[in-house]
Amino acid sequence: MSRCPSCGRPVAVARASCLYCGRPLADETRLATAPETVGPAMPAPAAAPEPPGTLLVLDLASVDEASLARAASLSAYEARLLVRRGALHVHRVLGVTEAEAEAERLRREGLVVFLVPEGEARIQPLRALGGECSPEAATLRTEEGPLLVHREDLLLVVRGPIAREYRPSPKRRRVETATLEEGYRVHLHRRSDPRPVEIDASNFEFGFAPTGSSRLELDSWVDTLAVGLARDDEFRRLPPVLAPAEPEARSALAAAGRLGRRPRDEEGEDEAAVLDNARQFRYYSGWRAAIERRRTGTG
């Protein structure tokens, strides 16, 4: 017996390819007749994990179209649209060394550039399940326990719509007529903790909501608590990038919502599997807060 040079498993010497991995055997492997010592196959070395990237974010608040088009290799039309929007724009995601070199080049062209490590943009939020708000603070019940968010501790508020739809299934032959209501989330970024407090309008128990609408009530909270603070609503302009929705936070509203879900089909497939762009919102909110910390000198 000989061993496959690709997967290391024992194979018959007369075979032209490995029975297990299918790769062709070298002539010297197939023709070898000398017996080998049978032993455990050595595992293939694990591939080195890809290092996290660095986001290059352009501040387009005060840049002219010609400079942006030339520096970022954009068409005049694309540059005009971005300048008209006048917000922050993720230019590229590169390795650390490449990102620093590209940032230096863009700055020589007169652009304002922020470098944000991806790890800083992917900080998981602390999900809030319920609470009340006053002009001085928000009293919240989170997955980790009670939390008091003072107005003086707030750094930035990011909010945006969440696109939701059922996962398409090739096994489903009937026409899908049910639609999902658009979600809405708010991130309260604090100076004292890099984790944002996430409020899901559809899964949050308000102590008292005179507006009768969870979305309007959250906007009222922001207007009350974040007076004079930076707010970001630009996420609504991004094309949705859908991914499997994560399990909802454990609240009474989430338990009630599960009662109305469609059952699994006869083959065990979850017919109520949902896609949303909540991860995209969190990523956007993460790098947006990282830039606000740099602007304000908040560690």
| Structural domain boundaries in the chain | 1-43, 54-121, 126-296
| Coil, helix or strand at residue 148 | strand
The interaxial angle of helices 65-72 and 96-108, nearest 10 deg, is 150
What is the CB neighbour count within 10 angstroms for residue 237?
A: 9
Residues of the chain with pLDDT under 70: 1-51, 170-178, 208-211, 250-272
Work out whether strand 10-11 and strand 2-3 pair parallel, antiparallel, or are unpaired.
antiparallel
| Of the candidates 146, 232, 224, 142, the residue with the CA atom closest to the CA atom of residue 189 | 232
Cβ neighbours of residue 106 closer than 8 Å, sequence gap 6 or more: 56, 58, 71, 72, 91, 113
pLDDT tens for 83-114 read: 999 999 999 999 999 999 999 999 999 999 99
pLDDT tens for 180-204 read: 889 999 999 999 999 999 999 999 9
**What pTM did the predictor assign?**
0.76
CATH topology of domain 54-121: Ribosomal Protein L30; Chain: A, (3.30.1390)
In angstroms, the CA 122 to CA 195 distance is 10
| Of the candidates 125, 100, 274, 116, the residue with the CA atom closest to the CA atom of residue 187 | 125
Q: How much is the CA Rg of the chain, to the nearest whole Å?
A: 27
In angstroms, the CA 87 to CA 80 distance is 13
